[in-house]
Amino acid sequence: MPAPQPVRVLGDTALGVLVGTLALSTSRLADFDDRRGGGPRHPRAAPGPSEPLHPFDGAQLGAVVALVGALAIRRSAPRAGYLGAVGAMALFLLAGGPYGPVLLGPALAVHALMTRLPPRQWAPLLAAVPATLSAGFWTEPWVGLTDPGLYLAVVLGSAGILLPGLVALVLAARHDARRQELVAERRRHAYEERLQIAREVHDVVGHSLAVINLQAGVALHVLDKRPDQLSPSLEAIRATSKTALAELSSTLATFRGDVPPAGSSSGEIGRPSATGLSGLDGLVTALRAAGRTVHLVAPPADPLPLAVEHAALRIAQEGLTNVVRHASPDAAITLALSRQGPALVVEVLDDGRPGPGPQVDGSGITGMRERARAVGGTVQVGPREGGGFRVRAELPADGGGSGG
């Protein structure tokens, strides 16, 4: 949290006093009067061992006072602080002050200018830096243009003044880039969570509604002809909807981080549990109760990673749902699981009439492929020769390819 403006001004004033003190202290040293090696800059002689150091020049003292004032406002008024600092530096150098700590003032002002204003506003102002750095040579013949020290002072002085601000800009850009990466990462995680919730809800609700629709069709069919068989269909509809609501509640509780109540995800009436291949029997039982012909071919269960079992269950569930929705009512369905090398193969086959028109990947097929990809597997879907449709998923049985 940034400090209040009065506190910032007070701190910058103290910093300006420190810079000014350093500048005046160095200007009193006699060796700075001869800093270019060409003789004393001032007509007065250097003090002897028993003489006190010469007093401050009035112009230098005024320049330092102006520098302190400029640094005091460098963050609240960056342009004015910068122009004041480079002007005070020029006056200090023109009055015979040495190059040295006085350059700290413009460097601090440039730092505030670069970090508080956009480049299009501060870039043109930087031309004043090399111009004012040459002020120490303005009293020489040809304003020092024939003195090699002028160019050395301008180049090195400009680098020293501009470098802190440029480093601050680079660090700020890196900080902004990291912040944007974090924001993008959070958005990606949020999108993936929403996508996962959508898949779970689609599988739970979609399959349940398909079974309910199938049972309702059976109930309407036997309503007049065989009313004695109406009760089992209605009971299956009630049980399927009840279990679907329980599993949906359990799924949402899992995403919220809550602990679902005991038994909320059980497969008591033919619905699959939240995870595990034990729910396959429930899927098959529910469809058989609705009058569908379903064959389950599953070898003895081997230990599998939980994520792989869950993906296999949901892929089988969605495959059966697609058959109920799109295949002819008399189609025979086969749900087969097998181990082929390091892969668990899940197949949902039917021998119904092929649907009209080209095959279009809907949200169910897309969801199956995303589930398989999340654990390092693949899904193939398409019509079978001679009629019917096939869903084939190959999942890594050891979970080694899991990506999520």
Range among 182-196, 222-236, 262-276 with highest mean pLDDT value: 182-196
pLDDT value of position 170? 92
* Lowest pLDDT segment from 177-181, 195-199, 259-263: 259-263
* Lowest pLDDT segment from 13-17, 21-25, 63-67, 246-250: 246-250
Range among 156-160, 255-259, 260-264, 365-369 with highest mean pLDDT value: 156-160
Q: Are 210 and 317 contacting, i.e. CB atoms less than 8 angstroms apart?
A: no
The class of domain 184-396 in CATH terms is: alpha beta
> Which pLDDT band holds residue 140 (cuts at 50, 70, 90)?
confident
Range among 110-124, 279-293, 321-335 with highest mean pLDDT value: 110-124
Q: Are 364 and 318 contacting, i.e. CB atoms less than 8 angstroms apart?
A: yes
pLDDT value of position 394? 92
Better pLDDT: 232 or 362? 232
- For the cut 90, the answer to whether the pLDDT of residue 213 exceeds it is no
pLDDT value of position 391? 92
Tell me the C-alpha distance between 23 and 103, whole Å: 9
pLDDT value of position 139? 84
pLDDT value of position 95? 86
Q: What is the value of pTM for the model shown? A: 0.51
Please give the mean pLDDT across all residues of the chain. 78
pLDDT value of position 241? 77
Better pLDDT: 341 or 2? 341
- For the cut 80, the answer to whether the pLDDT of residue 244 exceeds it is no
- For the cut 50, the answer to whether the pLDDT of residue 50 exceeds it is no
Give me the residues paired with residue 383 across strands. 389
- For the cut 60, the answer to whether the pLDDT of residue 404 exceeds it is no
Better pLDDT: 371 or 270? 371
- For the cut 90, the answer to whether the pLDDT of residue 88 exceeds it is yes
Comparing C-alpha atoms, which of 178, 181, 177, 171 is closest to residue 114? Answer: 171
* Lowest pLDDT segment from 29-38, 149-158, 363-372: 29-38
pLDDT value of position 271? 41
- For the cut 80, the answer to whether the pLDDT of residue 49 exceeds it is no
- Domain(s) of CATH 3.30.565.10: residues in the chain: 184-396
- For the cut 90, the answer to whether the pLDDT of residue 374 exceeds it is no
pLDDT value of position 272? 42
- For the cut 60, the answer to whether the pLDDT of residue 115 exceeds it is yes
pLDDT value of position 378? 92
- For the cut 80, the answer to whether the pLDDT of residue 304 exceeds it is yes
